[in-house]
Amino acid sequence: FWMDIVHDPYRDIPPAQLAQALGDVADGSQLRLRIKGEDAVGDAREFSLLLPVPEGASGEERLEKLGLLTYEEGGKVLVDSVTFGSPAAEAGLEFDQEILKVRAPTDRWLKELMWIPGFLLFALVVWLQRRRRANGAA
């Protein structure tokens, strides 16, 4: 929790750079996508999904392995097609949905670094209590 406040675990990427983002992140990680589309009844809805990053040499190759084809129209990135049974289809992507936001994981500090301020605070409390006890005994 505290590490997330100090250092954001994800960075925002323009949806037009989805293929580049897929090429930059590690295999097996996940991208967070914010999607705008319609449900089965035709009502508008916005939702978020986790898109697994498959193995591949480049972002375009990984996009192909996901079974996802996108296009840009009027400054919007839309899903052109999703291969049946692909990881993109299993994640919930469908034809003609708009990709609003892409968030990719960042390189983060070790989470154990957050122990240092905790230990320093603990040491301060111990020092203050020992000083208080020494002043009270005198």
Residue 3 lies in a domain: no
One domain, residues 14 and 38: yes
Q: What pLDDT digit, counting tens, does each position of 97-136 carry?
A: 888 998 888 877 777 878 888 899 999 999 999 998 888 7
Nearest to 15 by CA among 61, 89, 79, 110: 79
Phi/psi region, residue 92 (left: phi>0; alpha: psi -120 to 50; beta: rest), is left
Number of separate domains in the chain: 2
One domain, residues 78 and 103: yes
Nearest to 21 by CA among 101, 89, 90: 101
Provide the domain limits for residue 119. Answer: 108-138
One domain, residues 53 and 71: yes
Rg (CA), the chain: 23
Question: pTM to 2 decimals?
Answer: 0.70
One domain, residues 23 and 88: yes
Instruction: Name the least confident of 41-50, 63-72, 73-82, 108-117.
Output: 108-117
Q: What pLDDT digit, counting tens, does each position of 8-53 carry?
A: 777 888 888 888 888 888 887 888 889 998 887 888 989 989 888 8
One domain, residues 90 and 26: yes
One domain, residues 61 and 120: no
* Cα of 122 vs its chain's centroid, Å: 33
